[in-house]
Amino acid sequence: MTNNPVVPRPSAVCTTRKGLFMETLEQRLTHRVRASDYADWRAKVRAVNGCAKPIRLTGAHQLQDTRTGTVLHHHGGDIFAPCGNRRSAVCPACSDRYAADAFHLVRAGLVGGTKGVPTAVTDRPRAFVTLTAPSFGPVHHARTSARGKRIPCGCGEHHHDADTRIGTPLDPEGYDYVGAVLWQAHAGVLWQRFTMRLRREIAKRAGIRVRDFPTEARLSYGKVAEYQRRGLIHFHAIIRLDGPDGATTPAPPWAHPDLLDDAIHAAAGAVVLNAARPDGTTDTLTWGTQVDVRPIQPSGSTEFETRDGQISEARLAAYIAKYATKGTGKTEAADRPIRSQLDIDFLRVSEHHRRIIQTAWDLGDLPMYEELNLRRWAHMLAFRGHFLTKSTRYSTTFKTIRGDRKVFRLTETLQRLGLADQADTIAVVNDWTFHGAGYRDDAERELAAGIATRIQDDRKAKYANEYAKEQQP
């Protein structure tokens, strides 16, 4: 791959306003790549993988011998630090890094052999579970029958998959927006109650007391939240039944995939949560009737789902990681918190999602919902949870993964400086000052986006080549 910048060719001068703007942008791009400091700037951008809004820092860091206090290496000046935003709609580069970390976190709990998780976890009862929200009113849909024939929507039409009406109410005035917002705000509590109920259901089927469950087995899970097109969350979860100490101990003799499957369905149907509505009535919050439970087969198949409905762990980790970074895009919610009514009025979202946000904003002004803090989460369509969560002993943690990466990079630096043999006696001293965030203008943003795309394409090509080599006999 060449490091030489590609200088855009100036286009013909246009008399339209748009043409003049494009000409001006191209001139700025040309000026930036021909600037004397472009190579240094480009190196900083590549160091943060083309982050869309990097943190600009000024200061220095040095490597110091802890025994003598001698400075072995010093570097000062200006650097970029990644913004760390995991949402692809805000920063594709940092979201891509988060997705990679999420993949390793999920995969470690699926196949083991790394991050302190033994390979024996593949022998445990495991299931891929999807829990959905109930209906708050009929919406437009694009479903197909078992034979692949398109099923007509309630409006009488046959919608194609890209139809923007899919997920929006057939009768917006009759749709229960208050109920939808209250359910969304309590989705995390519903999940918590589901896991508690699931332990009871497993204990019941195993013939043991609930109080004895922790000494017999442990429920481990990793889950990710995804927005449906109607704007409501559903959860994808990997649920694993371990021994009492988690991944390091085998499951008890009574643990079986069928037992886990039956207990999950029973627990999902038993969870009930009451929430007060503004008019004084009570809403009964439950999971939707569509509860999907599929056993996870050991690695070996490259297909995501086999003909008998089993899920391949070879693809499942990547699937979960994708939704961990998808978060809320512009078609579903806002990219940033709502600060005023004007923010809602000028949002570029569908009217359906605008009404969800508006309902959350209005309910958030009522004293009875003060604890829910709905206005803070209005831009998330009232969802207040994290998009990727896991039980304590499912696998490793993001902190551990990032710590390992930090150690790896430090080791590389020490090797490059010829200081690898002194690693145990070297301290890293940092002294940085915040100097701003983001790029100077649209030209730098365009160039950074191009660098980010090239880095991502190179990484995909590298992984594709490695995978092709692994498949060769």
303 plus 427 within the same structural domain? no
- Report, as an integer, the average pLDDT of 136-160: 87
Lowest mean pLDDT among 140-144, 277-281, 343-347: 140-144
User: What separation in angstroms does the CA of 91 have from each of 50, 228, 327, 343, 402?
Assistant: 9, 22, 12, 21, 19
Chain mean pLDDT for the chain: 86
Q: What is residue 14's predicted lDDT score, i.e. its pLDDT? A: 44
Each residue of 264-281: b (16+ CB within 10 Å) or e? bebbbeebebebeeeeee
Q: What is residue 329's predicted lDDT score, i.e. its pLDDT? A: 39
207 plus 311 within the same structural domain? yes
Q: Which helix (H) or strand (E) holds 65?
A: strand 55-65
Residue 295 located in a structural domain: yes
Residue 353 located in a structural domain: no
Residue 327 located in a structural domain: yes
Q: What is residue 86's predicted lDDT score, i.e. its pLDDT? A: 81
193 plus 262 within the same structural domain? yes
Lowest mean pLDDT among 17-26, 210-219, 276-285: 17-26
Lowest mean pLDDT among 6-10, 174-178, 231-235, 411-415: 6-10
Selection from 211, 206, 198 nearest residue 240 by Cα: 198
Residue 411 located in a structural domain: no
Residue 61 located in a structural domain: yes
The residues near 10 (Cβ < 8 Å, ≥ 6 apart) are 23, 26, 27, 30
- Assess whether pLDDT exceeds 60 at residue 139: yes
331 plus 183 within the same structural domain? yes
Indicate the number of domains in the chain: 2
52 plus 196 within the same structural domain? no
- Write down which residue in 373, 394, 415 finishes a domain: 394
- Report, as an integer, the average pLDDT of 54-76: 91
Q: SS3 for 59? A: strand
Residue 82 located in a structural domain: yes
302 plus 261 within the same structural domain? yes
210 plus 267 within the same structural domain? yes
Domain span at residue 196 reads: 118-136+176-335+385-394
pLDDT in tens, 181-225: 999 999 999 999 999 999 999 999 999 999 999 999 999 999 988
Which amino acid, 103? F
- Two structure tokens written together for 107: 């995969």
- Assess whether pLDDT exceeds 70 at residue 159: yes
186 plus 268 within the same structural domain? yes
Residue 15 located in a structural domain: no
The confidence band for 12, taking pLDDT boundaries of 50, 70 and 90, is very low
Identify whether the C-beta of residue 113 lies closer than 8 Å to the C-beta of residue 296: no
196 plus 245 within the same structural domain? yes
DSSP sequence for 346-368: T--S-HHHHHHHHHHHHHTTSGG
Residue 257 located in a structural domain: yes
- Report, as an integer, the average pLDDT of 161-172: 90
Q: What is residue 2's predicted lDDT score, i.e. its pLDDT? A: 46
131 plus 265 within the same structural domain? yes
275 plus 205 within the same structural domain? yes
196 plus 284 within the same structural domain? yes
